[in-house]
Every structure is written in C-alpha cells, then in structure tokens.
Homo-oligomer: A and B are copies of this chain.
Amino acid sequence: MIKVVLLGTGNVATHLFEAFRDSENIKVIQVYNHSSDSLSAFEGKANTTTSLSSLVDADLYLLALKDDVIADIASKLSGKKALIAHTSGSVALNALQPCSRRGVFYPLQTFSKSRELSQTDIPFCLEAAEKEDLEILKRLAKEISGKAFEVSSEQRKKLHLAAVFVCNFVNHLYAIGEDICNTNDLPFEILQPLIQETAAKVSHASPFLMQTGPAKRNDTSTIEAHLSLIASEENKEIYKLLTKAIQSQHGKEL
C-alpha cells in the first residue's frame, strides 16, 4: 500500500485522485489546497486541509500544483522524510532540491475536469534522484496506467514543448476549421471523421511519411486559391508559414 498526500485540486490532481481511488494498492489519505473552496469536491472522499503544517505522514507527497508554486511548497516540505514528487512537464527535478527524496510523476496527457479519461493509456514520465524512489513512482504509474517511461528533466522539457505542438497548437488549427465551418453555414461535425482519421493514421505510421495536401504536392494553384479565400490576416500568415514549412521539409518534391 502506497499512502499518498495529494497537494492541488486542479485538473491533474482531480484525475489522479479518481485513478488512485480505483486502485487497491494506493490510498490518498489527504488532499491539500491553500483555499478551502476547491477542496469541497474532495470532502467525504478524503481528509482535506488548507494548512501545510497539518499534513499527515505519508509515503509520497504528490505536488499537482501550478509550476510557479512548486519550488516554494517543496521548500516548506523539506523536513519530510518521505518522497516528494511533482507532476509538471516543465519544472526540473532540481526545483525540489531542499527535499531529501525528490521525484517527478508527469502524466503526458491533456486533462479537462468535464471529461473522464481512461487512465490506462496515459504515459507517465518518471524521474527520481534515487533508484528506490523511481521504483515507487513506477509502481504508482503501473497501478493506474501500465505505461511508465523514464525521462530526464532535459528530455521532459522537450516533451512538454512537443506536447504544445501536437496538442495546444493542433487544437487551435481545429478551432480555425470550426470557425470556417461556422462562417459558411456548415456543421463542424462534417470535419470530424477527417480529424479523427488524421490522428489515427499516425498511431501506426510516421507523420512525416503520412504528409499529404497541396503544400506537399507543391500545388501552387490550390495554394493561391486558398489564400484568396482566407479573410483573417492571422490565418493567412498561418497558412503561408505552414505551407512553407511542409515544402521545406519535403524538398518541394512533386
């Protein structure tokens, strides 16, 4: 049994809390947040506190907190003998430096409070100062996921960057598609199969090899026609830049 104190009540904390509840070998014994409002969702399910000095003893203090408060909260936990780990993609392991046992437990996934996720396919990126602590994090990940990857702080920063491209930026391109549908009296639903298939395609093949479209074909008449259809200057810039990028990657091959 791994006894966990969870610090934070945001999307990541909420999803991890639910996942841990389904595991017989993990018990979240307390949830901390500095404000009591956001703890209400956890009441009745776990002991809650707004005071760091009231934290109970545990095997792991898991900091599912905003990046900019992690180091500060960690310094306040430096007296603990248990493992202290954070869940951030972009904060280095060293940010937990005052703590004697330090780890990272970063779930590489996009979380929304409103959406249930199957935890079984979330890759957890793990790092720890000590081998035994890495083993604890691996057990934790395997209890709720099955996919654990050992990832250094340097690699994790790059992964977080990659996640911005394949998740946040991709979503903005979906939003442009939605906007084009809305302004032309078309249901966004009509783009759905294309969106899902484009994602599904790369689950078994390299996206570089899967590239299609007018930029890849160097089909200048379609590219010109498209540019003339785009009303927004910003979207025009995005179209031009991504077209140029695809062409430079694929050497303007035909």
Structural contact, A194 and B108, CB atoms closer than 8 A: yes
Chain B residues lying within 8 Å of A179, measured Cβ to Cβ, are 208
Which listed residue, B122, B172, B208, B246, touches A193 by the CB 8 Å rule? B122
Residue A82, interface by CB 8 Å: no
Tally chain A residues at the interface, Cβ within 8 Å.
95
Residue A129, interface by CB 8 Å: no
Structural contact, A237 and B246, CB atoms closer than 8 A: no
Chain A residues 180-226 with CB under 8 Å of chain B are 180-181, 183-203, 205-208, 210-216, 219, 221-222, 225-226
Residue A163, interface by CB 8 Å: yes
Residue A170, interface by CB 8 Å: yes
Structural contact, B166 and A174, CB atoms closer than 8 A: yes
| Distance of A15 from chain B, by nearest CB (Å) | 12
Structural contact, A190 and B108, CB atoms closer than 8 A: yes
Chain B residues lying within 8 Å of A205, measured Cβ to Cβ, are 114
Chain B residues lying within 8 Å of A172, measured Cβ to Cβ, are 207, 211, 215, 242, 245-246, 249
Binds B, one of A27-35, A37-45, A134-142, A154-162: A154-162
Copies in the complex: 2
Which listed residue, B169, B199, B210, touches A112 by the CB 8 Å rule? B210
Chain B residues lying within 8 Å of A160, measured Cβ to Cβ, are 226
Residue A248, interface by CB 8 Å: yes
Structural contact, A173 and B165, CB atoms closer than 8 A: yes
Structural contact, A197 and B110, CB atoms closer than 8 A: yes
Chain A residues 75-114 with CB under 8 Å of chain B are 90, 108-110, 112, 114
Residue A52, interface by CB 8 Å: no
Residue A73, interface by CB 8 Å: no
Q: What are 20 A-B interface contacts by the 8 Å CB criterion? A: A115-B201, A121-B196, A149-B186, A151-B186, A155-B186, A157-B225, A159-B180, A159-B181, A160-B226, A166-B194, A166-B198, A172-B207, A172-B215, A172-B246, A178-B202, A178-B207, A188-B206, A196-B199, A196-B200, A237-B241
A positions within 8 Å CB-CB of B? 67-68, 90, 108-110, 112, 114-115, 117, 121-123, 125, 147, 149, 151, 154-155, 157-181, 183-203, 205-208, 210-216, 219, 221-222, 225-226, 229-230, 234-235, 237-239, 241-242, 244-246, 248-249
